[in-house]
Amino acid sequence: MDATTAMYVAQGIHGLAYGMVLFLVASGLTLIFGMMGILNVAHTAFFMLSAYFCYQVVAWTGSFWLALLLAPIATAIVGILVERFLLRRIHAFGLLFELTLTIGVMFVIMEAVKVFWGTENLPLPVPSLLEGLVSIGGMDYPIYRLFIIGLSLVILGFLAFILYKTRMGMVVRAAVSDADMVNALGINVPRLFMFVFGVGTWLAGLAGVAIAPILTVFPGLADQMGMDAFIVVIVGGFGSLGGALMVAIISGLLSSYGVQFVSQLAPVLMFIFMAVVLAIKPTGFFGEREG
């Protein structure tokens, strides 16, 4: 492989790795915003919070793998508490109340991490098992980024199976369409939605752990990922995991190749892409309902 081709391939894999992390964040947002109709602006704050939980678990135990298990669960518990005691009380009043509340939750989380961990960047080492490079077509590439891609694909398969091949998934999709009917069948819809909210927050937490060794842990993580995640959900189509995956990959590639070849336009490439898609198809690529 010549140097030019190797550069193109490397940038493509970089973009794919970022796109898959973005998918993990956006898939959780798709469940919460696209399927449940809950406008959770604090979603990427949970993503950032999990990165800090990861840092703390590694600091206490020295185990990244334990952090990968525990940090997303701890984040999901925080998300469940927010849904149960805050969001559920104002959901009936509409999106404006949800927007206001979740903005408040976001600021509380952002200030809390500054109080407990400070404002400096906290580096997190790549686990020893995933250190180093692997040769792909004569080109060396970081093993950890390939791990992120593989992890995201496993999560995608898990979500697709749960949502479309299990009774629980059918109940969730039915409750989104007609909560009163599902409730009349004896299923506790509020508890079901609390569970879905927890799963969505867990996905954001998983992404926070995955990205921490690459970007380091700092309070700006939420801002860095937030806008891209909302664009992915909107352009992919509300409630569509396939749409979220496709647009996340496109976003990652636009970011990677944009920085390399049109650096001045790179920050706005995704907005241009969103404007073009929504001008042609206002519900996004695979929108199942109006947002």
pLDDT digits (tens, 9 = 90+) for 113-141: 999 999 999 999 999 999 888 877 667 78
Residue with tokens 């009936």: 92
Q: What angle do CA 155, 27, 153 make, to 5 degrees?
A: 25
What phi and psi, each to the nearest 5 degrees, are found at residue 122?
-110, 105
pLDDT for 176 equals 65
- Span 160-182, average pLDDT: 77
Q: How is residue 170 written in tokens?
A: 């059918």
Q: 238: pLDDT confidence band, cut at 50, 70 and 90?
A: confident
Q: How confident is the model at residue 2 (pLDDT cuts 50, 70, 90)?
A: low
Q: Alpha carbon of 150 to those of 30, 39, 139: distances in Å?
A: 20, 29, 19
158 phi and psi angles, rounded to 5 deg? -65, -45
How much is the average pLDDT of 237-248? 85
Rounded Cα gap, residues 159 and 162, in angstroms: 5
Residue 148: is its pLDDT beyond 80?
Answer: yes
CA–CA separation, 20 and 15 (whole Å): 9
* pTM beyond 0.95: no
How far apart are the C-alpha atoms of 150 and 158, rounded to whole Å? 12
pLDDT tens string 8-45: 787 888 888 889 989 988 888 888 876 677 888 899 99
Low-confidence winner among 48-52, 69-73, 169-173, 197-201 (lowest mean pLDDT)? 169-173
| DSSP helix/strand/coil, 119 | coil
The type of residue at 149 is I
Residue 290 has pLDDT above 60, yes or no: no
How many CA atoms within 13 Å lie on the side-chain side of 161?
A: 6
pLDDT at 198: 93
Cβ–Cβ < 8 Å for 202, 72: yes
CB neighbours (10 Å) of residue 231? 20
Query: What 8-state DSSP symbol labels residue 288?
Result: S
Interval 75-99: pLDDT, tens: 999 999 999 999 988 877 888 899 8
* pLDDT > 80? residue 183: no
How much is the pLDDT for 270? 87
* Cβ count within 10 A of residue 240: 21
Q: Which two tokens stand for residue 226?
A: 């937030």
Q: pLDDT category, 282, cuts 50, 70, 90?
A: confident
pLDDT tens sequence across 256-274: 888 777 777 777 888 899 9
Q: Domain boundaries in the chain?
A: 3-280
d(CA 201, CA 236): 19
Output 169 or 53, whichever has higher pLDDT: 53
- H helix count then E strand count, the chain: 12, 2
Read off the pLDDT of residues 164-173 as tens digits, 9 standing for 90 and up: 888 877 887 7
The overall average pLDDT reported for the chain is 86
Which of 268, 262, 218, 254 is closest to 19 using CA atoms? Answer: 254
For the domain 3-280, what is the CATH code?
1.10.3470
Torsion on CA atoms 279, 281, 284, 287, rounded to nearest 10: 150
